[in-house]
């Protein structure tokens, strides 16, 4: 049986928990889910039966639990919503990790795809726009944390514009002076970058197009698996793995 009706918030929480446990342990058990969600075993059993009836998990009593193809797709979308919201709260609104996590858990079930897309686009825009950027966001929140009820004096605005122009000129000069192009393969764990272009055609083009990644999208390198150099990256709220031949085709501009 396949899932047709939307899942309740509670069922989405169970599916998300199974996704994370499977990612860590390859398979989940009822006790793992109970511990993660802090619920009793009888509640877990009922939820597992419901998810199994909808064709989202492979489940039998006392056996390990895995996601079906449809279940994995749905779980990935739930996780993507959660992380995109959390990133917005922490990066743009400067909310603490704990508060952002709690808020994302509550909102991930109701936010529409259109609103989610706008939030991610807004976050990317602020990070890469010459008139914005991370320093602009930091300056705004420094003003808020001071308890200011008004904008800083006009002289400060003039200084900010001058600093912005200087940063833009320095950044342009750095790009112009760099030897060759920087590709995603050159980056290390923890680095962030902006997508400029993809060389040639092929699987990597289709893979990135499928998740909505385009020129200007922000990549974050989460891990580099040696010795094969498979790279785990986060982009548009998705976690994807790219082979060395794929990362060599992705031309980027490092950020920070």
Same domain, 61 and 89: no
Q: For the domain that residue 18 is a member of, what is the CATH number? A: 1.10.10.10
Q: How many domains does one find in the chain?
A: 4
181 versus 152: which is more confidently predicted?
Answer: 181
Confidence tier at 93 by pLDDT (50, 70, 90): confident
In a domain, 209, yes or no: yes
> What domain range is 211 assigned to?
184-255
User: In the predicted model, is pLDDT for residue 130 greater than 50?
Assistant: yes
| pLDDT, tens digit (0-9, with 9 covering 90-100), for 170-203 | 766 665 655 568 899 989 999 988 898 888 777 8
Same domain, 188 and 235: yes
Average pLDDT, integer, range 35-39 = 93
Same domain, 93 and 148: no
Give yes or no for a contact between 248 and 154, defined as CB atoms under 8 angstroms apart.
Answer: no
């Amino acid at each position: 049986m396949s899932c047709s009706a939307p899942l309740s918030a509670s069922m989405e929480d169970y599916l998300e928990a199974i996704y994370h446990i499977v990612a860590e342990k390859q398979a989940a058990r009822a006790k793992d889910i109970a511990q993660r969600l802090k619920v009793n075993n009888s509640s877990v059993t009922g939820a597992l039966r419901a998810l199994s009836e909808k064709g989202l998990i492979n489940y039998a009593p006392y056996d390990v639990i895995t996601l079906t193809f449809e279940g994995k797709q749905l779980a990935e979308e739930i996780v993507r919503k959660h992380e995109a919201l959390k990133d917005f709260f922490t990066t743009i609104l400067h909310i603490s990790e704990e508060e952002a996590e709690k808020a994302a858990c509550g909102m991930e079930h109701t936010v529409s795809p259109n609103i989610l897309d706008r939030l991610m686009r807004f976050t990317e825009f602020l990070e890469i726009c010459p008139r914005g950027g991370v320093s602009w966001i930091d300056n705004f929140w420094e003003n808020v944390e001071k308890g200011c009820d008004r904008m800083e004096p006009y002289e400060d605005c003039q200084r900010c514009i001058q600093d912005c122009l200087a940063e833009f000129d320095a950044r342009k000069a750095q790009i112009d002076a760099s030897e060759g192009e920087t590709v995603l393969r050159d980056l290390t764990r923890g680095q962030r970058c902006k997508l400029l272009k993809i060389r040639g055609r092929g699987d990597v083009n289709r893979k990135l197009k499928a998740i909505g990644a385009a020129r200007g999208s922000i990549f974050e390198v989460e891990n580099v698996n040696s010795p094969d150099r498979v790279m785990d990256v986060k982009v548009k709220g998705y976690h994807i793995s790219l082979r060395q031949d794929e990362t060599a085709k992705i031309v980027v501009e490092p950020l920070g």
